[in-house]
Amino acid sequence: MAPLSIASVVPLVAKQSAARMDEETFRRFYEITARPLRGYLIRMLHNGAAADDLLQESYLRLLKAKLPEAATEQHLKNYLFRIATNLLKDHKALRPETALDEDIETADPAAADGDVARMLARLKPAQRELLWLAYVERFSHVEIARMLGLKPQSIRPLLSRARHAFTAALQRGGFGEKK
């Protein structure tokens, strides 16, 4: 079987709106995007079950959405992350972060070992989102601005502040050395 890449799904997806995406196309798109999306959600929520719920809801909304006929793979991925970011906002509004440490230790084994994920969890939610979208998902500043409802010009300074905060947390945790 040919290796999967997001580009291999493009022609199929581009010809039809996501609302009419067939099952096979959906499965391939899911295979490519679900892991990164779950990574994003779990780092934002520190809760595996909640991340899975939001992941499923994100895809359900994508399948229901009326997207342009010529939607590219990047468009679909952006849209998926935008849906997920909005769902995260709703989720946080209903359940503000309180017992963060308990959540990390009980629900997300990957984050329970006092490593980088723990440092990341110490940041403000908006800073975590920014860092993850910019450096793990590598979305452009314009795309991030659209997802977070911010002005594109504000992303660079916000990202810079988030980076300082994360670096400080990492250095306190013994990662990296201050120049």
Partner 1 sequence: MMSETCGLEDTVALALASGQWNGQLREHVAACAHCAELELVWQSLTQAAQKESTPLPVAGLIWWRSQLDERREKAERAVASIAIMQKLTIASALAAATASLWLWKPGVWLVLVGLGMVLATGAVLYGWVRGRI
Binding pattern for the stretch 51-90 against partner 1, x by CB under 8 A and - elsewhere: -x--xx--xx--xx--------------------------
How many secondary structure helices (H) and strands (E) does the chain include? 9, 0
Would you count residue 125 as binding partner 1 (CB under 8 A)? no
Q: Which two tokens stand for residue 94?
A: 């209903």
Would you count residue 135 as binding partner 1 (CB under 8 A)? yes
Residues 6+ apart with CB under 8 A from 154: 145
CB nearer partner 1, residue 96 or residue 176: 176
**What phi and psi values does residue 154 have, to the nearest 5 degrees?**
-80, -15
Considering only residues 136 to 155 of the shown chain, the ones binding partner 1 according to CB under 8 A are 136, 138
Distance of alpha carbon 100 from alpha carbon 102, whole angstroms: 6
Would you count residue 5 as binding partner 1 (CB under 8 A)? no
Considering only residues 11 to 30 of the shown chain, the ones binding partner 1 according to CB under 8 A are 23, 26-27, 30
What minimum distance in Å lies between the beta carbon of 19 and partner 1?
9
CB nearer partner 1, residue 76 or residue 93: 76
Residues 6+ apart with CB under 8 A from 133: 40, 81, 139, 143, 144, 147, 148
Q: Which two tokens stand for residue 60?
A: 């359900």
Considering only residues 36 to 55 of the shown chain, the ones binding partner 1 according to CB under 8 A are 36, 38-39, 42-43, 48, 52, 55
Q: Which two tokens stand for residue 67?
A: 């997207």
**C-alpha to C-alpha distances, 84 to 10, 40, 118, 177, nearest whole angstrom:** 21, 9, 22, 34
Site of interaction with partner 1 (CB under 8 A)? 23, 26-27, 30-31, 34-36, 38-39, 42-43, 48, 52, 55-56, 59-60, 63-64, 110, 115-117, 119-120, 131-132, 135-136, 138, 156-157, 160, 163-164, 166-167, 170, 175-176, 179
